[in-house]
Amino acid sequence: MLLVIDVGNTNLTFGVYKGEELAATFRMTTKIPRTSDEYGVMISQILQAKGLGTDLLEGSVIASVVPDVMHSLVGGVSRYTGTTPLIVGPGVKTGIRIVTEDPRAIGADRIVDAVAAYEKYGGPVLVLDFGTATTYDLITEKGEFSAGITAPGIRISSEALWKQTAKLPNIEIKKPGSILAQETITSMQAGLMYGQIGQTEYIIRKVKEESGIADLKVVATGGLGRIIADETDTIDIYDSSLTLDGLRILYEKNQGKKK
């Protein structure tokens, strides 16, 4: 079995693969400081609760955009699973060529998503990840990571509204029944959700226009991505396991294994 870990700004997302099958997933909050023993014990206990012992793990791989957690996390994984994690970063074989001005500035999570989308769906493909930030990454037919757009995520926008204003509340993020809101909460929900839908559709159109790729496939992932994907026909595929699949694919590429 393979343990894959996506370290995001909000959550750590874990997956366990049996071959190409995603057998289990679970999450932890990123912002809570933990020691290596705490990570190790929590991972071990959760796996046992799911009927998956750490003794069955043959490897592990981590992609992270939060450097501060890595020392403890890597130590915990190594000590409690008996595997040495592959860390996604410079020197790791990806099969994707980054042709932006500063390739080293591209986040590990975006590289993982790009690898997964290109391997699973081919190119050209535009990869959308609705996470803490909303990202749009263009991968060409030849597998070149050629451009990326970064926007505030829906949750960040929501938090900015209630934290920076005296009377606006913290709200549940969901699409209201109508954009014609008549009270505060639904007016905020309408602005957030329809604003995100409009942003998504406009950026996709502009990417197609400026790249000249009219038949560009659009693949979305991320926690709130399904809500957006269900509301627009500009997104072709919503893939909830895209990032975890990308970590598995990267591990296999770097272990000399066939897909």
- With 60 as the cut, is the pLDDT of residue 257 above it? no
- With 50 as the cut, is the pLDDT of residue 258 above it? no
| pLDDT for the residue numbered 120 | 97
Residues 106 and 231 in one domain: yes
Contacts of 156 (CB under 8 A, 6+ apart): 132, 133
218 close to 128: Cβ distance less than 8 angstroms: yes
CA 237 from centroid of its chain's CA atoms? 15
For 225-251, the pLDDT digits (tens) are: 999 999 999 999 999 999 999 999 999
| pLDDT for the residue numbered 105 | 87
For 182-210, the pLDDT digits (tens) are: 999 999 999 999 999 999 999 999 999 99
As a whole-number percent, the residues of the chain with pLDDT over 90 amount to 90
As a whole-number percent, the residues of the chain with pLDDT over 70 amount to 98
Helix 36-49 and helix 70-81, axial crossing angle in degrees, nearest 10:
50
Number of domains in the chain: 2
Q: Two tokens at 100?
A: 């932006």
List the Cα angle 241/242/248 in 5-degree steps: 90
32-57 average pLDDT score: 95
| pLDDT for the residue numbered 118 | 98
Q: DSSP string covering 116-172, please?
A: HHHHHH-SSEEEEEESSEEEEEEE-TTSEEEEEEEEE-HHHHHHHHHHSSSSPPP--
Q: What is the 3-state secondary structure (H, E, C) of 45-74?
A: HHHHHCCCCHHHCCEEEEEECCHHHHHHHH
Residues 155 and 79 in one domain: no
In whole angstroms, give the CA distance from residue 67 to residue 49: 29
Last residue of a domain, one of 62, 87, 112: 87
Last residue of a domain, one of 87, 110, 125: 87
Residue 242 belongs to a domain = yes
Q: What is the CATH number of the domain that holds 72?
A: 3.30.420.40
For 80-127, the pLDDT digits (tens) are: 999 999 999 988 999 999 999 888 889 999 999 999 999 999 999 999
Residues 203 and 121 in one domain: yes
Contacts of 55 (CB under 8 A, 6+ apart): 82
- Residue 137: domain span: 97-247
Contacts of 54 (CB under 8 A, 6+ apart): 43, 44, 47, 48, 80, 81, 82
Catalytic residue flag (residue 215): no
Tell me the average pLDDT of the chain.
94
Last residue of a domain, one of 52, 87, 122: 87
Residues 13 and 68 in one domain: yes
Residues 141 and 53 in one domain: no
- With 90 as the cut, is the pLDDT of residue 259 above it? no
Which of the following is catalytic: 6, 68, 109, 113? 109
Residues 164 and 236 in one domain: yes
Residues 129 and 240 in one domain: yes
